[in-house]
Amino acid sequence: MNLNNKKIIVTGGSLGIGKATAKLCVEKGAKVLITGRDQHRVETAAKDIGAIPMVFDISNESQIKAKTKACLEALGGIDALINNAGIGEFGVLGDLTIKHFESVFNTNVFGLALLTQEVLPEFKAQKSGNIVNIGSTAATKGFAHGTVYAASKFAVRAMTQCWQAELRKDNIRVFLVNPSEVTTAFNQTDRNEKEIEANKLTPNEIAHVIVGNLEMDNRGFVPEINIWATNPF
């Protein structure tokens, strides 16, 4: 898909992977809308990269229908949805509560799925579309303290595979991108970006993979891709 003049929504687009991906899409000529929960942060990021801002908390089910409609109206349609918004919760078995699961799954799984469902009629009507789900290498292998987060990303991986099976007949491509550790604001209580480390991934590497997948000719797609730092040790 040639990204020039394409209409793209990036959730969680005010920081990290989302912002880097939105920026690269804009540089390719796309019309991009980014979402975020913090009005100042999302508006500042949008101004910085040339995107459209939308304050939108996808974990809030009551917002999803109306806010998705507002996003589509602001863009004038949609060619790609990049489901990047995500949060983490890390604790050992024995210390977990239902609140830990609810907070993470409301964003990483339920909000992601319900937002995509609202966009789907547009894709089906035009017989084309692209859905990029940002998973994690935690979607492929669990780890200590990862019960809640890894479970949410395993769910995203499963949903992606289901959607691939359902939507190929409608010319809708569904991608899963699994980053390993990236220096972003993820899981930072102050929501400030981490310092770049020479041996760790940055948001730019993930953005490159996402955009590269989208730019593939529409006759093909990469169902799942994992991105690892070459030597993180």
Residue 233 located in a structural domain: no
pLDDT of residue 193: 63
pLDDT of residue 233: 85
- pLDDT digit of tens for each residue in the chain (233 aa)? 999 999 999 999 999 999 999 999 999 999 999 999 999 999 999 999 999 999 999 999 999 999 999 999 999 999 999 999 999 999 999 999 999 999 999 999 999 999 999 999 999 999 999 999 999 999 999 999 999 999 999 999 999 999 999 999 999 999 999 999 998 656 556 556 668 888 899 999 999 999 999 999 999 999 999 999 999 88
Q: Does pTM top 0.75 for this prediction?
A: yes
pLDDT of residue 160: 98
Residue 214 located in a structural domain: yes
CATH (domain of 123): 3.40.50.720
Residue 172 located in a structural domain: yes
Name the residue with tokens 């590497």. 205
In the structure encoding, which two tokens stand for residue 67, read together? Answer: 């806010």
Q: Name the active-site residue from 110, 149, 154, 186.
A: 149
Residue 2 located in a structural domain: no
The whole domain housing 56 covers 7-227
CA dist 17 and 24 (Å) reads 11
What's the domain count of the chain? 1
Q: Is 149 a catalytic residue?
A: yes
CA dist 185 and 182 (Å) reads 9
Residue 1 located in a structural domain: no
pLDDT of residue 197: 86
Residue 113 located in a structural domain: yes
SS (H, E, C) the chain: CCCCCCEEEECCCCCHHHHHHHHHHHHCCCEEEEEECCHHHHHHHHHHHCCEEEECCCCCHHHHHHHHHHHHHHHCCCCEEEECCCCCCCECCCCCCHHHHHHHHHHHHHHHHHHHHHHHHHHHHHCCEEEEEECCHHHCCCCCCEHHHHHHHHHHHHHHHHHHHHHHHHCEEEEEEEECCECCCCCCCCCCCCCCCCCCECHHHHHHHHHHHHHCCCCCCCCEEEECCCCCC
Residue 232 located in a structural domain: no
pLDDT of residue 186: 63
